[in-house]
Structures are given as structure tokens and as C-alpha cells.
Amino acid sequence: MFLNALVLVVISVTTGNEPAGEVEIRVDGEARHQVYEGFGATTLGLIHPGENGDSLGPELRPRALDALYGQVKLTMGNVAVGPLETRSGIQHSQNDNDDPKVIDWSGFDMSLAEAMWKGVLQPAEAMGFDDWSLDGKINWRWSTKWLADLYRKDVPRCLEECAEETQACVECWKKISGSVPRYVHLFNEPTSGNGEIEGAHAETVRDIVKRAGDRLRIAGFPELKFVVPNEETVTRTIEVARVILEDPEARKYVAAIGYHVYPYGSPYASVPRILHASGAGRPDEESIHQRRSLRDLCRRFNVPAWMTEVSHGEVDPRSFDHLRGRAIHIHDEFVYADAAAFYGMNAMWDKKTHAEHFAGRGGEDPDGYLTEQDTIVLVENDSRTVLITGMGYAIGHYARWLKRGAVRIEAASDDLLVQVTAFRQEAPGRLVLVVINNASDVRTLNVDLSSLSVAGPVSGEESREHVRWRAIEPFQPESSSRIRVAVPARSVTTFAAGLDQKKN
């Protein structure tokens, strides 16, 4: 039997003590939306210069990488390899030379990039970490501070220096790894939030995209594109993205429009707000409007949208509320923004690094590292504990069952408290349902498939208050076009079944 695949994500929510009810879900296999890319996070090596060294060591590092890439199944991430433009042994950045057209490699320190290659990329690629981007971001607020003064005095020269930085990042990586990535993550909150190109504006972002893109083409990298602009909010992302995309010379270098969902406490940064809004069947209307505007802009120019950072969930990362809240968040970005990718904060973080990074700012708190709720894996160095956070488990309910290239298709529920996301996967052939039930009662789902036909038993896994990713007992669908199944109270469950190619 030849199989195609469908992936369906269902989120079931109730707000009171209603009796268990029947929910009708209809999935239309012919109504297609965005192509799924994957899940990721900012990827730090946790190998620090000087005496701090490798904060994980030979025992914890393999376990942390296995949790990220072997269990959660991240395939994406902006890989931090810098700052590069500084001479070895010097703590502050400085220009390599006075000619932005000529790279003086003695003015670049590749040690962090080498550590990233050996400590993360080499072992993780074997586990499926194959869709990462270089984090070659332009940042003159903290890293290459000398660019800020140059921008005030000589904008054209500053643009050339930014292009040189980008080329050097790619060339450096090629020297170390022998490979070239598909993308460069060019900015992180450039004109909002962190304000990493402080004093600049949307037109500056556009001009850097053009100059850096031209430079890479001349240097022999014809396929490399950028993930931009990754602004602090959806609204500011739209404003800057429009300036970039409306310029055809800039647009040709854009791989994806990245966006963040801040400020802290916003409807999708805060997990309690997610649970009390979208999680109660009442998603924030302004947030939906913003995401639909972003979706429409990206559709207009035929580029995907990626949600590239969220943090400060305001909930214990070990809790089930964190898991179900972020699962709902994933659903909403997929459905309202047509997001093709979803990122947490950092891929991994540890107590030792936290104490050093936040020294004098709360880093001495023994549980301080747990405030990094939306990092995927947290490591407690003293007890040798590797923790997958609620964010990680939520991602896993999708990422462990989806592969790059799946297509989201239309799905509708007759209950406002049941949210549905559906994906059709061509290979391997299967239908996947992810059900998030926030009710205090069991819910029964009746899934009717239009232009789709399932074949074989349904398998999967579930999470609830004290259970994570537990395998479910396989069962048979009612028919080739209908699945009936009950889901536990307050649970997240993933179901998978094959689709018969002969009938699809």
C-alpha cells in the first residue's frame, strides 16, 4: 500500500465544569495553506572563552543535545558564532582594517565558531539538526560598537562594513565546517526592543539587506538568503518587512520574514494570558488582526513567515500549564499568521552559565536558571539534571510527527473551544492529530476527512499533568474517512495514521 500523509493539530478547550461532549471536526485535504519548515531556537554553544570554558562538559553535553535533537526533534535554529570581528585575546570588538572591501582575517576571532561546530553542529547534525541558519546578525549596540559611530558619520561606509561582517561570517563558517548554510539570520530586533542597530530605521535595514546580499553574490554564494527583520513585535515587523519587500533588489535576498511576539507580558509572550484568552476560546482580537496582516503581506510577496523568538512565559517551565499554553501558541501562529516555523528562546541553557551571565543581577539564585522558561532544554550542572521544559514538550507534540515540507490544510470545528490545525504530509504517509484538551472532562472527537482517506491503525502519544509523551494504545479508525476518539481531561495528545495514496 502506498501512503501520503496528513498532519492535524487539534486544541480542545473548556472553561467550566461542562459534561463531556462530542466535538465535530472537518478536515479539507484540498484547501492548502503554508508549507511547514520546522521548529528551532537561538542556538548557543555554552562553550565560553577563557577560564569559564565548557559549562556542560563531556557528560552533560551529549545528554542535552539528545534531549534537543533526539527527543524534542528541533531541526532549526540561528546558530550563534560570534562576535567575530575582534582580534584573538581582545575582549572588545574592533574593525579589522580601514578597507571594508578587504577582509583581514587576523582581525577576526573564529574560536567561538569552531567551538560551536565541534560542540553542537557536528554531533547534532547526525540527530537531524539540518535546517539551521548562521546567526551573523548586525549588532552595533553591544558587539561591534564601533559601527554605531561610523553610522552617525558615514552611512555608506557603515553599510559596506556590515556587508563585510556578513561575508566574513559565512566565509569563516565555510573554512571551519566545509559547508554553507541555507540562510543567515541577519538581524535581531534591529530598530525595536533591543535596538541592536540603534539610531537606524527601516530603510537602513533594507539597505543592509541589499548591500550584504550583493556582497555574498560577488563572493560566490548565489543561493544564500536572509531571515529578516526579527523585530520585537508583529506590528514593527510588518512595518520594516514592508519596506524591505517592496524593494525588488532587497526582496530577492529574503528567505523568510522573522517576527517576535513581545513585549514581555503580551498576549503571546505570557502563558497565563494565552490560557485565559485563546485557551478559553477567546483569542486576543488585536493579536489575530496583526497576524493576519503579516500573513497577507507575506502572501503578497510569496515569502514565509517565521516566529523566531518568544520568552518570559511567566509560568514554571516544569508545569503542564506551560506545555499546553505553548501548544496553543504554536497553533495560533500556524493558523492566524500562516507561520511556517516556530522558535523558542534558546535551544539550551544551564545553571552555571546563568550564574555567570547574570552575576549581580539574580544569577546567584539557585533556581534562577528556571526563569529561562521558554528555552527548550535547561541543565542543572550540580545535580547533573537535564530538563525538557514545557515549551520543549509542546514543540515535541508537533515536531516529533511533522517533517519539513508538510502542508497545512484547512480544518474546522463546530465548537469554538476546540482549535484545529491540520497538515498533509507526503512522506512518510500519515495523518497526525494533536489534541489539546484544557477541559476538566474527557472530550470525544469525531474527525471527518474530506478528500482524504486513512489506512491502518492510529497510534500516538499523550501528555497530561504528570505524564509526558506516553505512547497510546493503537486503535482502528471508524472508517477510511472518519476517526472517533476520546481525549483525557487536561491533556495534549498526538495521533497518527497513514493515508492511502490510491484514494488521495
Q: What is the pLDDT of residues 382-411, one digit of tens each?
A: 999 999 999 999 999 999 999 999 999 888
pLDDT band at 11 (very low <50, low <70, confident <90, very high): low
Cβ neighbours for 223, distance < 8 A, ≥ 6 positions apart:
180, 182
Q: What is the DSSP annotation of 218-246? A: HTT-TT-EEEEEEESSHHHHHHHHHHHHT
Mean pLDDT of the 442-464 span = 92
Q: What span, in angstroms and rounded, lies between the C-alpha atoms of 498 and 504?
A: 11
Q: What span, in angstroms and rounded, lies between the C-alpha atoms of 189 and 137?
A: 10
Q: With a cut of 70, say whether residue 319 has pLDDT above it.
A: yes
How far, in Å, are 65, 375, 377, 420, 488 from residue 402 at the CA level? 20, 21, 20, 15, 23
Mean pLDDT of the 236-264 span = 98
What pLDDT is recorded for position 88?
Answer: 58
- The amino acid at residue 96 is D
pLDDT per residue over 166-184, tens digit each?
A: 999 999 999 999 999 899 9
Put simply, whether the predicted model's pTM sits higher than 0.75 gets the answer: yes
| 38: its cell numbers | 520546522
CA-based end-to-end distance of the chain: 12
Q: What span, in angstroms and rounded, lies between the C-alpha atoms of 280 and 273?
A: 10
Q: With a cut of 90, say whether residue 147 has pLDDT above it.
A: yes
CATH of domain 3-36+407-503: 2.60.40.1180
Q: With a cut of 50, say whether residue 5 has pLDDT above it.
A: no
Given a contact cutoff of 8 angstroms between Cβ atoms, the answer to whether 2 and 429 are in contact is: yes
pLDDT per residue over 182-235, tens digit each?
A: 999 999 999 999 999 999 999 999 999 999 999 999 999 999 999 999 999 999
What pLDDT is recorded for position 83?
Answer: 64
Cβ neighbours for 397, distance < 8 A, ≥ 6 positions apart:
327, 434, 461, 463, 469, 492, 494
Nearest to 406 by CA among 37, 20, 10: 37
Q: What span, in angstroms and rounded, lies between the C-alpha atoms of 356 and 465?
A: 33
What pLDDT is recorded for position 204?
Answer: 98
Supply angle C-alpha 319, 324, 330, rounded to 5.
130
| 495: its cell numbers | 495521533
Q: What span, in angstroms and rounded, lies between the C-alpha atoms of 223 and 221?
A: 6
What pLDDT is recorded for position 48?
Answer: 83
What pLDDT is recorded for position 15?
Answer: 40
What pLDDT is recorded for position 200?
Answer: 96
What b/e readout covers 442-469, taking b as 16+ CB neighbours within 10 angstroms? ebebebbbeebbbbbebbbbbbbeeebb
pLDDT band at 331 (very low <50, low <70, confident <90, very high): very high
Given a contact cutoff of 8 angstroms between Cβ atoms, the answer to whether 228 and 241 are in contact is: yes
Looking at the chain, the whole-number percentage of residues with pLDDT higher than 90 is 74
Cβ neighbours for 457, distance < 8 A, ≥ 6 positions apart:
474, 475, 476, 497
Averaged pLDDT score across all residues of the chain: 91
List the domain boundaries for the chain: 3-36+407-503, 38-73+263-277+306-331+344-401
Q: What span, in angstroms and rounded, lies between the C-alpha atoms of 267 and 415?
A: 22
Q: What span, in angstroms and rounded, lies between the C-alpha atoms of 400 and 330?
A: 14
Which of 79-88, 124-133, 150-159 is the least confident region? 79-88
pLDDT band at 18 (very low <50, low <70, confident <90, very high): very low
Given a contact cutoff of 8 angstroms between Cβ atoms, the answer to whether 478 and 447 are in contact is: no
> Residues for the chain: how many in total?
504
Q: What span, in angstroms and rounded, lies between the C-alpha atoms of 403 and 89?
A: 42
Evaluated on CA atoms 306, 310, 315, 318, the torsion sign reads positive
Q: What span, in angstroms and rounded, lies between the C-alpha atoms of 304 and 76?
A: 15
Nearest to 344 by CA among 260, 461, 233: 260
pLDDT band at 112 (very low <50, low <70, confident <90, very high): confident
pLDDT band at 89 (very low <50, low <70, confident <90, very high): low
Q: With a cut of 50, say whether residue 16 has pLDDT above it.
A: no
CB atoms within 10 A of CB 323: 30
Q: Give one word for 360, left, alpha or beta, with left for phi > 0 and alpha for psi -120 to 50.
A: left
Q: What span, in angstroms and rounded, lies between the C-alpha atoms of 83 and 462?
A: 42
